[in-house]
């Protein structure tokens, strides 16, 4: 069978669970924590990986995976380079979306909201707990800029390794976090024959309204 035919034919029925209005938490953040906890318990691989979608100044969307690093009170933190493409997008348009897909549980979560750069104390705290090699990596990578070669990157790593020899590696001021405050959530549970459950939470007069969407 050709690869194209194989891809067309691939189809799995989702049968592992259901999601009913009567069983969801009235607070979407608590529902998020419940599902995240279940995903961690089920040892879902790369459970903290989420797709971050941003919009460019030219109104073009771009998405990439980043890691969720903190979550508290309807807020979600992730970290990266403040000169990167995503950083430039978020500077001009703070509206972003996050999505998680946990195939082992046949679940997807979509979150939308606005981001701001997080308090530097969060960035310091997260950065200071990273492995030394990752800290050196942050100094060495002008994320999203063009490199002439792999060698150029490796030379920069060697340079910064030498520069910080025997010293603590400080957080570069071009590296840090963002925090998203959510105003929309969707919890998707795969069901048989594509009749999935989709429960959404939208903010209305600062209260969460729960509804169901067609799959």
Ligand X SMILES: Cc1cc2nc3c(=O)[nH]c(=O)nc-3n(C[C@H](O)[C@H](O)[C@H](O)COP(=O)(O)O)c2cc1C
| Matching residue, tokens 């799959």 | 215
Q: Is 8 in the site for ligand X (CB under 6 A)?
A: no
For residue 83, give the 3-state DSSP assignment. Answer: coil
What are the residue numbers of the active site? 194
Cα angle 134, 172, 72; round to 5: 75
Segment near ligand X (CB under 6 A), from 26-34, 81-89, 120-128, 164-172?
81-89
Segment near ligand X (CB under 6 A), from 58-66, 152-160, 173-181, 189-197?
58-66
Smallest distance from ligand X to CB 143, Å: 5
Q: Is 76 in the site for ligand X (CB under 6 A)?
A: no
Q: Which is nearer to ligand X, 113 or 177 (CB)?
A: 177
Q: Which is nearer to ligand X, 49 or 210 (CB)?
A: 49
Q: Is 78 in the site for ligand X (CB under 6 A)?
A: yes
Q: Give dist(CA 48, CA 127) in Å, integer.
A: 17
Q: Is 64 in the site for ligand X (CB under 6 A)?
A: yes
Among 15, 34, 62, 213, interactor with ligand X by CB under 6 A: 62
Q: Give dist(CA 80, CA 87) in Å, integer.
A: 8
Q: Which is nearer to ligand X, 125 or 143 (CB)?
A: 143
Q: In which region does residue 62 sit, left (phi positive, over 0), alpha (psi from -120 to 50) or beta (all else)?
A: beta
Q: What are the C-alpha distances in Å from 24 to residues 29, 106, 147, 194, 206?
A: 11, 17, 48, 21, 19
Segment near ligand X (CB under 6 A), from 17-25, 57-65, 113-121, 163-171?
57-65
Q: Give dist(CA 90, CA 67) in Å, integer.
A: 16
Q: Give dist(CA 182, CA 6) in Å, integer.
A: 38
Q: Is 91 in the site for ligand X (CB under 6 A)?
A: no
Using CB under 6 A as the binding criterion, the count of chain residues that bind ligand X stands at 15
**Contact positions with ligand X (CB under 6 A) in 132-191:** 143-144
Residues 6+ positions from 99 with CB-CB distance below 8 Å: 50, 51, 53, 108, 109, 110, 111
Q: Give dist(CA 145, CA 176) in Å, integer.
A: 17
Among 79, 139, 160, 178, interactor with ligand X by CB under 6 A: 79
Binding site for ligand X (CB under 6 A): 46, 49, 62, 64-67, 78-80, 84-86, 143-144
């Amino acid at each position: 069978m050709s690869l194209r035919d194989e891809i067309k034919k691939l189809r799995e029925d989702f049968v592992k669970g259901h999601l009913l209005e009567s069983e969801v938490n009235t607070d979407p953040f608590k529902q998020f924590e419940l599902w995240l906890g279940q995903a961690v318990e089920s040892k879902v691989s790369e459970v903290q990986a989420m797709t971050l979608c941003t919009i460019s100044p030219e109104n073009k969307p771009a998405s990439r995976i980043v890691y969720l690093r903190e979550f508290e009170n309807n807020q979600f933190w992730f970290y990266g380079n403040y000169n990167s493409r995503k950083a430039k997008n978020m500077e001009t348009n703070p509206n972003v979306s996050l999505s998680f897909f946990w195939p082992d549980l046949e679940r997807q979560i979509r979150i939308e909201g606005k981001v701001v750069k997080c308090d530097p104390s969060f960035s310091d705290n997260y950065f200071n707990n990273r492995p030394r090699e990752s800290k050196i990596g942050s100094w060495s990578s002008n994320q999203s800029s063009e490199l002439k070669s792999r060698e150029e990157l490796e030379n920069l790593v060697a340079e910064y390794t030498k520069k910080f020899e025997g010293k603590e590696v400080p957080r570069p001021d071009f590296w840090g976090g963002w925090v998203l405050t959510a105003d929309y959530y969707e919890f998707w549970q795969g069901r048989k024959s594509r009749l999935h459950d989709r429960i959404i939470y939208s903010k209305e007069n600062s209260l969460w309204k729960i509804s169901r969407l067609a799959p």
